[in-house]
Amino acid sequence: MFLALCTYGQRPERVYIQHDNVVPQATYAARKLEEAILNKGYLVGNANESNFQISLLLDTIEMTVEAFSIRLEGNQIRITGGDVRGLIYGSLSVVEDLENGIALKNIKEKKEHPHLSFRAIKFNLPWDAYREGYAMELHLQTCKDLGYWETFLDMMVENRFNTLTLWNLHPFPYMIRPRNFPEASPFDDQEMAAWQTLYRGLFRLAKERGIETYIVNWNIFVTPTFAKAHGVSIPDGKARIHYGMGDTAEVIKRYTRECVTQVLEEYPDLTGIGFTHGEAMRGMSPKERQDWFETTILEGMKLAKRRAKLIHRVPLEVNSEGSESGPINVEQLTRESMEKIDYLEKPIWAEVKFNWSHGHSSTKLIKVHGGQLSDTYFKPEPENYKIAWMVRNEDFFCLRWGVPDFIRKHIATNNYPYVGGYFVGSEGYIPAKDYFSKPNSAIQWKYAFQRQWLFYKLWGRLLYNPATPDVVFQSEFIRRYGMAGEGLLEASALSGKTPLRLASSFDFTWDFSLYSEGFLAMEDNEMRFISIDRQINQLPADSSYMSVYEYVNSSKAGKSIADNRITPLLLAGMLETDCGKALALVQHIDLPDGNPLLYEVADIKIWANLGLYFAQKLRGAVALQTYRLLGGEQHKQQAIGHLKKALGYWDEVVGQARPLYRDMPLAAYAYPHEGVRNATGDKSRFHWERLRPDVERDIEIARNSTYLPAK
């Protein structure tokens, strides 16, 4: 490019980046700017020889934390941050403009500030993982590589996530050799050094990017070597059972307390710690659980020689009662505990699962883990803590997803003064190794999370600023794929409503109660395809929706249906309209071999055809239930016809997915029931093609159905 410019008598602009190189976050911001500037053909020089200057400045007086402004003054761009995070975000905003083809002299002035202060990713680690099986284990080497974490953290800060939370059952043995309990460590010196290098490097990389880090554990766990040495019980046997009886022996309390203190002192770049009120605490009353935390984890944090931050998960059973002294409201007990803590950095983040494990369902708060939530945590407004909604994703791991208006509405609907932010993440999926994709020359990514770039970009940027326009996300499609990507955001938003609508119309609870991407749900402690009979009888999660059973019975009884109710046939029509539009937007895109756009388009087509399959299944379910209640051969034949069409759409899904996707390990298939894994090896793998016999079986169910007149 330099030679080409000289040919026309021009010299490329030389840019000087002024920043405080003592501040690691400013150095990171300058480095990312330099990379983008060089990539666009500019040169980087010192102040004397440059004809363009970018100044990175801090203004902690006039600007709020994480805010930034960009001003263009002649041949100078001034990027000002309200703190070091704001400085990074402002710099990355300029990088984004450069990557979208905007020249330095045309960078637009801009001001932004955060809407929510806590924007976190939930990341389940593959070692000592909460879920077990090959779907977790296969990520081990990837997650032990600091190169992976550098790339993941770059993605986070680019999308303005500011918190990484790392979850596993018992994190301490991987981070320290307890001073007074060295027998707890299962590692030799070399192994221990490797783990510590990993954690220290990860926390350093995060801090450099302005990202806070937390470790979050489940309770009460110890290592097998500790249990053997001290003669205490360990809740997990050969197959891990999380809900075992908690052993509250004094030696375990002391061990836990000292581990917390030592971890905080040996890892100064670690921001804080989180804990859980559920696992391995069976048999303990709510007060006993809270007392245990106060004498172990909280006391350990108090004893550390530095202040830290806390994620205090709310109890996983709401409004339960029970203790020696009589009824105790769990929510009130938990609130009182959080409000009295005065030795930690504020606010405490009180994590609440939004719609249990299926946050990608309705934007209405239908339930939390365990049932309904009262207003105890909210009224009066808390002083010491803020609610952080946990929006779990257990519904799509393979397919790319992005519906910007769902996220905007979610934030708008649930943004109260007592809400500080969100977690986003999964329990049954780790975004590390790409175990989905078949080898293909079109693949331009290395890690699984890079496939889901739109998911992270939408959640992160909209949590920071819900007013971020769609053009920001659309421009990213164009930057990646040229003008062929122009309509893909709209197509993604239309087809991506399919899993949201399934989860809203199909009641769920815990992780494996529903897997929307695969039309699977837990039945008799086994993950199974959602049959036509299950579809008919399943209650909806969102009360706005009507089940097939309710709808047909209401129609039979001649009952009127409220205008705000979504009937199965209305839902079918909505799916057909949106998915049809999505397919029309991508049907003319030319995809030569080796074009990475192939995967984006294929995923849109898969979601759209899954939506059309769902629509025909709903129509078939209504016709079949009508036949069963009222008779009429025409209803039976209609049901068969709709289910045959549904099979055709499923075959379209298989046709798109089979060339691109492997048979994929699925944690839900390996779910251990009473200590025994339901499926291992090949049987624990998912692909839509494997479910075709189940889809076909629905037709046989309809064909073999009989009309039984009510007596």
| pLDDT (tens digit per residue) in 145-191 | 999 999 999 999 999 999 999 999 999 999 999 999 999 999 999 99
The dihedral formed by the CA atoms of 100, 101, 107 and 109, expressed in degrees to the nearest 10: -30
Identify the CA nearest to 206 among candidates 279, 125, 131, 268: 268
Q: How many alpha carbons lie under 13 Å from residue 705 in its C-beta half-sphere?
A: 31
Q: How many alpha carbons lie under 13 Å from residue 109 in its C-beta half-sphere?
A: 6
CA distances 68 to 273, 354, 599, 663, Å, are 29, 30, 35, 45
**pLDDT tens profile 118-130:** 999 999 999 999 9
The pLDDT of 624-638, averaged and rounded, is 97
> At 182, which amino acid appears?
P
pLDDT of residue 679: 56
Residues listed for the chain: 711
pLDDT of residue 492: 98
The pLDDT of 536-565, averaged and rounded, is 97
With 0-12 / 13-18 / 19 or more C-beta atoms within 10 angstroms meaning exposed / middle / buried, residue 319 is middle
**Confidence band, pLDDT 50/70/90 cuts, at residue 116:** very high
Query: How many angstroms separate the first and last alpha carbons of the chain?
Result: 86
Dist CA 117 CA 409 (whole Å): 18
The dihedral formed by the CA atoms of 671, 677, 679 and 682, expressed in degrees to the nearest 10: 110
Dist CA 635 CA 673 (whole Å): 40
Cβ count within 10 A of residue 210: 24
Do residues 30 and 91 touch, judged by C-beta distance below 8 A?
yes
> At 418, which amino acid appears?
Y
Dist CA 72 CA 111 (whole Å): 12
> At 217, which amino acid appears?
N
**Confidence band, pLDDT 50/70/90 cuts, at residue 438:** very high
Dist CA 52 CA 432 (whole Å): 40
* CA 106 distance to own-chain centroid: 36
The dihedral formed by the CA atoms of 299, 304, 309 and 313, expressed in degrees to the nearest 10: -30
* CA 318 distance to own-chain centroid: 23
What are phi and psi for residue 491, nearest 5 degrees? -65, -40
Scan for tokens 């791991």, then name that residue. 397
The pLDDT of 424-452, averaged and rounded, is 95
Statement: residue 323 has pLDDT above 50: no
Identify the CA nearest to 292 among candidates 343, 339, 332, 337: 337
pLDDT of residue 241: 52
The overall average pLDDT reported for the chain is 93
**Confidence band, pLDDT 50/70/90 cuts, at residue 12:** confident
**Which range (386-395, 545-554, 702-711) has the least confidence?**
702-711
Q: Determine which helix (DSSP H) or strand (DSSP E) holds 150, and give its type and residue range.
A: helix 146-158
Dist CA 586 CA 127 (whole Å): 41
pLDDT of residue 293: 96
- Tokens coding 653: 């899904």
Q: Where are any strands of DSSP class E within 614-658?
A: none
**Confidence band, pLDDT 50/70/90 cuts, at residue 677:** low
Provide the whole-model pTM: 0.96
Do residues 293 and 265 touch, judged by C-beta distance below 8 A?
no
Contacts of 309 (CB under 8 A, 6+ apart): 212, 214, 271, 272, 344, 345, 348, 349
Cβ count within 10 A of residue 482: 11
Dist CA 310 CA 290 (whole Å): 15
Exposure string over 387-417, b if 16+ CB within 10 A, otherwise e: bbbbbbbbbbbbbbbbbbebbbebbeebeee
The pLDDT of 24-51, averaged and rounded, is 96
What are phi and psi for residue 164, nearest 5 degrees? -115, 120
pLDDT of residue 505: 98
Statement: residue 1 has pLDDT above 50: no
Statement: residue 482 has pLDDT above 60: yes
Which stretches within 249-311 are classed as H helix? 250-266, 286-295, 297-303
The pLDDT of 608-632, averaged and rounded, is 98
pLDDT, greater one: 670 or 20: 20
State whether residue 374 is helix, strand or coil.
Answer: coil
CA distances 60 to 66, 345, 403, Å, are 10, 19, 35
pLDDT of residue 244: 73
> What are the helix and strand counts (H, E) for the chain?
24, 20
Q: Determine which helix (DSSP H) or strand (DSSP E) holds 45, and give its type and residue range.
A: none
pLDDT of residue 454: 98
Dist CA 696 CA 679 (whole Å): 23
Dist CA 253 CA 297 (whole Å): 9
Statement: residue 281 has pLDDT above 90: no
Scan for tokens 């008598």, then name that residue. 9
State whether residue 473 is helix, strand or coil.
Answer: helix
pLDDT, greater one: 670 or 341: 341
pLDDT of residue 82: 98
The DSSP output letter for 33 is: H
CA distances 275 to 115, 215, 351, 456, Å, are 26, 9, 10, 25
**Which range (10-24, 83-97, 342-356) has the least confidence?**
10-24
pLDDT of residue 591: 84
Exposure string over 573-591, b if 16+ CB within 10 A, otherwise e: eebbebbbebbebbeebeb
**Residue 592, preceding peptide bond in cis (omega within 30° of 0):** no
Q: Determine which helix (DSSP H) or strand (DSSP E) holds 350, and give its type and residue range.
A: strand 348-353
